[in-house]
Amino acid sequence: MKSDNKIEELMEGLFNKDKRALSRIITMVESDKPEYYSILKEIYGHTGKAYRIGITGPPGAGKSTLVNILAKQIKDRGNEVGIVAVDPTSPFTGGALLGDRIRMTGLLKDPHIFMRSMASRGSTGGIARTTTHVADVMDAYGFDVIIIETVGVGQLELDVAGAVDTTVVVLVPEAGSSIQAMKAGLIEIADIFAINKADREGAETLKFELQDALSLMPAIKNKGWDLPVKLTVALDGTGIKELVDTIYTHKTHLEDTDHLNTSRMNQKKVNIIEIMKHRIENQLWLNPELEPTLKRLSNLSMEGKIDPFTAANTFLKSAKVLNVNIDASFLHK
Domain that holds residue 288: 266-332
CA distance 209 to 189: 18
Q: Tell me the per-residue pLDDT of 67-79, one tens digit each, with 9 for 90 and over.
A: 999 999 999 999 9
166 in the same domain as 57: yes
Quick check: 41 pLDDT over 60? yes
Mean pLDDT, the chain, as a whole number? 81
Taking the model in full, what pTM does it have?
Answer: 0.83
> Per-residue confidence at 166, pLDDT binned at 50, 70, 90?
very high
The number of residues in the chain equals 333
CA distance 8 to 300: 52
Q: Tell me the per-residue pLDDT of 215-243, one tens digit each, with 9 for 90 and over.
A: 876 655 556 788 899 999 999 999 999 99
79, burial (CB in 10 Å: exposed 0-12, middle 13-18, buried 19+): middle
> Per-residue confidence at 277, pLDDT binned at 50, 70, 90?
confident
Among the residue ranges 20-24, 88-92, 181-185, 280-284, the one predicted with the least confidence is 88-92
104 in the same domain as 81: yes
Residue 261 lies in a domain: no
Closest CA to 103 of 76, 67, 79, 53: 67
Quick check: 280 pLDDT over 90? no
322 in the same domain as 180: no
Would you state the pLDDT for residue 94? 47
CA atoms within 13 A on the CB side of 317: 7
Would you state the pLDDT for residue 180? 59
Select the highest-mean-pLDDT range: 127-136, 268-277, 295-304.
Answer: 295-304
252 in the same domain as 165: yes
CA distances from 266 to 48, 158, 196, 269, 270 (A): 13, 14, 29, 5, 6
CA distances from 19 to 12, 80, 141, 148, 152 (A): 12, 13, 9, 18, 27
Among the residue ranges 132-141, 167-176, 197-206, 298-307, the one predicted with the least confidence is 167-176
Would you state the pLDDT for residue 266? 87
More confident call, 81 vs 220: 81
What's the rounded mean pLDDT across residues 114-137? Answer: 74
240 in the same domain as 104: yes
Cα angle value 233/235/239 (rounded, 5°): 30
CA distance 283 to 85: 30
Closest CA to 234 of 106, 68, 85, 60: 68
Residue 279 lies in a domain: yes
Would you state the pLDDT for residue 95? 46
* Phi, psi angles (nearest 5°) of residue 222: -90, 90
Residue 172 sits in a domain of what CATH number? 3.40.50.300
> Per-residue confidence at 61, pLDDT binned at 50, 70, 90?
confident
More confident call, 156 vs 258: 258
Would you state the pLDDT for residue 185? 66
Would you state the pLDDT for residue 291? 85
123 in the same domain as 12: no
Number of domains in the chain: 3
CB under 8 A, 24+ apart: contacts of 224-231: 224/253, 224/257, 225/191, 225/250, 225/253, 227/187, 227/190, 227/191, 227/192, 227/193, 228/192, 228/193, 229/193, 229/195, 230/192, 230/193, 230/194, 230/195, 231/194, 231/195, 231/198, 231/203, 231/204, 231/207
307 in the same domain as 320: yes
Residue 292 sits in a domain of what CATH number? 1.10.287
Residue 294 lies in a domain: yes
Would you state the pLDDT for residue 286? 74
More confident call, 50 vs 275: 50
What's the rounded mean pLDDT across residues 198-205? Answer: 92
156 in the same domain as 55: yes
Would you state the pLDDT for residue 316? 81
Look at residues 256, 280, 311 and tell me which one is the last residue of a structural domain: 256
Would you state the pLDDT for residue 82? 97
DSSP letter (8 states) at residue 166 = E
Query: Given its phi and psi angles, is residue 48 left (phi above 0), alpha (psi -120 to 50 degrees) or beta?
Result: left
